[in-house]
Amino acid sequence: MIKAPERLSKKLGLTFNHPEWFVLALTHRSMGARNNERLEFLGDSILGFVIAEALFEKFPDAPEGVLSRLRASLVNQESLAELARLHNFGDYLILGSGELKSGGYRRASILSDAVEAIMGAIIKDQGIDNCKAWILDLFADRIAALHLDNWQKDPKTRLQEYLQARQLDIPEYSLISQTGLPHEQTFKVECSITLFDKKFIGVGISRKKAEQQSAELMLAQIARDSK
């Protein structure tokens, strides 16, 4: 049973003047001609710009090639799908019966398109400035965790090197849940360190990806605490 869209909009910190835009953003093309593809097109356009501008400001000395690779590491199908899984988007997607039976609510392409469609819906409902603010909030932890000296290393390696350099215990990763069919599973993993009590949960299509995301969130917290 599909959960009420307003529950998801509340989780995402969104209030729509015209809720039908949000409902449309969650509606897959398998439901017919009225679907989220046009909103996804709009959202994709602003997402690339907002992330590019954020990276431009965060790394004033980085050349164009590095900025492009950094943006690609944030704005891609799997990254967006992981954000969607973190908020259980699959429970709210409006899919046709065939797509529903085939597990479309777990498919990375459908999840990532819905995230971008929500961005498009915010533009239509509230304007570009509000959409930009929401995107920056959504990606805040991932942007904060980026550093030019080590951004090409995976988050688990960066976190472990940070802790070892300070003679602290290495991170612990605990599997919280593993759901879905064998070929389309979703993993949730919790990362904890002795540096502070707070724990972070990562979500991914494999345990490794979930661990990497939880490490990335932990690195973002460390970055905020060190400011």
Check residue 17 and report its DSSP letter.
S
Residue 141 appears among annotated catalytic residues: no
158: how many CB neighbours lie within 10 A of its CB? Answer: 23
Known binding residue 37? Answer is no
Contact assessment for residue 150 and residue 158, using Cβ atoms and an 8 Å cutoff: yes
CA distance 36 to 117: 6
The amino acid sitting at 46 is I
Residue 116 appears among annotated catalytic residues: yes
Contact assessment for residue 80 and residue 111, using Cβ atoms and an 8 Å cutoff: yes
CA distance 156 to 170: 10
116: how many CB neighbours lie within 10 A of its CB? Answer: 25
Of 82, 99, 116, 125, the catalytic one is: 116
CA distance 97 to 18: 27
Known binding residue 161? Answer is no
Known binding residue 40? Answer is yes
Bridge partners (DSSP) listed for residue 192: 172
Of 6, 20, 37, 44, the catalytic one is: 44
Contact assessment for residue 169 and residue 193, using Cβ atoms and an 8 Å cutoff: yes
Alpha carbon 46 to its chain centroid, in Å, reads: 16
Q: Which positions make up the binding site for Mg(2+)?
A: 40, 113, 116
Q: Which positions make up the binding site?
A: 40, 113, 116
Residues with a catalytic annotation lie at 44, 116
